[in-house]
């Protein structure tokens, strides 16, 4: 798998500090499943986080993507999360941290259409103002309205590919966007581009069309 887009340093630091939402941690775990480079960077960030946490009397350690990846390992150090990971893809090519959340294979999910060639599958019931966690499937040639983000948006490409100002994103790549990015992804694969998206606040569409469809898309 040729990967060209990775996690930002700031995201890895937040991940190591345990301040990201469960949905973002799951999405990061999907990329770590296929990216040895980011796995190594996550372990370094974890080690640094562990040193600063060790000075505190009581520490709440919540489940992290590393925990999810290493569920069958048993490392019980109180302030250090397991760093030995067992990356794995299911035989359908879906990273296991995502596959665990799905009731059926991708092509049998109860997708909901929100426009020509566009459908979504919600992985979270949280109110839209708290962000989204969902799968989007966009047909070849689809173009998302140009939009930006109030906080952070992570996108993991499950299959197919798209291109935007930042380049081409293939299966396994992660788009790690902060608030100042405006982008308008365009699906350039000949199969649907399926991506996993986690946001911590609603996206802000630039154009009128995007603002109209946003309540239906729910991102």
Q: Mark the segment that binds Zn ion (CB under 5 A) among 17-25, 33-41, 151-159, 204-212.
A: 33-41
200 vs 29: CA distance, rounded Å: 17
Q: Is 35 in the site for Zn ion (CB under 5 A)?
A: yes
150 vs 179: CA distance, rounded Å: 5
CB of 89 to Zn ion, least distance (A): 15
- Measured in degrees and rounded to the nearest 5, phi and psi for residue 59 equal -130, 130
Q: Is 28 in the site for Zn ion (CB under 5 A)?
A: no
CB of 80 to Zn ion, least distance (A): 22
Q: Is 8 in the site for Zn ion (CB under 5 A)?
A: no
CB of 93 to Zn ion, least distance (A): 17
> Which residues, 141 to 160, sit near Zn ion by CB under 5 A?
none
Whose Cβ is closer to Zn ion: residue 38's or residue 138's?
38
CB of 34 to Zn ion, least distance (A): 8
What region does 212 belong to: left with phi over 0, alpha with psi -120 to 50, or beta?
Answer: alpha
Q: Is 38 in the site for Zn ion (CB under 5 A)?
A: yes
Q: Mark the segment that binds Zn ion (CB under 5 A) among 4-12, 46-54, 64-72, 190-198.
A: 4-12
> Which residues, 52 to 111, sit near Zn ion by CB under 5 A?
none
CB of 185 to Zn ion, least distance (A): 19
Distances (CA, A) of 34 to 93, 183, 187: 10, 25, 22
16 vs 83: CA distance, rounded Å: 11
> Which residues, 165 to 204, sit near Zn ion by CB under 5 A?
none
Q: Is 217 in the site for Zn ion (CB under 5 A)?
A: no
Q: Packing angle between helix 36-53 and helix 22-34, nearest 10 degrees? A: 130
Q: Mark the segment that binds Zn ion (CB under 5 A) among 5-13, 16-24, 115-123, 150-158.
A: 5-13
The residues of the shown chain that bind Zn ion, judged by CB under 5 A, are 6, 35, 38
């Amino acid at each position: 798998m040729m990967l060209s887009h990775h996690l930002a340093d700031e995201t890895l630091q937040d991940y190591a500090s345990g301040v990201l939402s469960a949905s973002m941690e799951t999405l990061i775990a999907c990329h770590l499943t296929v990216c040895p480079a980011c796995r190594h960077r996550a372990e370094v960030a974890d080690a640094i986080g562990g040193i600063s946490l060790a000075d505190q009397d009581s520490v709440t350690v919540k489940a992290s993507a590393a925990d999810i990846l290493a569920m069958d390992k048993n490392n019980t150090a109180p302030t250090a999360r397991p760093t030995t990971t067992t990356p794995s893809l299911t035989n359908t090519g879906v990273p296991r941290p995502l596959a665990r959340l799905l009731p059926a294979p991708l092509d049998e999910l109860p997708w909901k259409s929100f426009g020509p060639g566009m459908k979504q599958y919600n992985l979270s019931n949280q109110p839209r103002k708290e962000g989204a966690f969902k799968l989007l499937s966009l047909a070849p040639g689809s173009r998302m309205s140009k939009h930006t983000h109030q906080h952070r948006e992570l996108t993991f490409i499950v299959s197919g590919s798209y291109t935007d100002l930042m380049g081409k994103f293939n299966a396994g790549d992660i788009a790690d966007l902060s608030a100042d990015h405006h982008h308008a992804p365009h699906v350039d694969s000949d199969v649907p581009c399926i991506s996993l998206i986690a946001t911590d606040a609603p996206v802000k569409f630039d154009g009128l069309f995007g603002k109209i469809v946003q309540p239906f898309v729910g991102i």
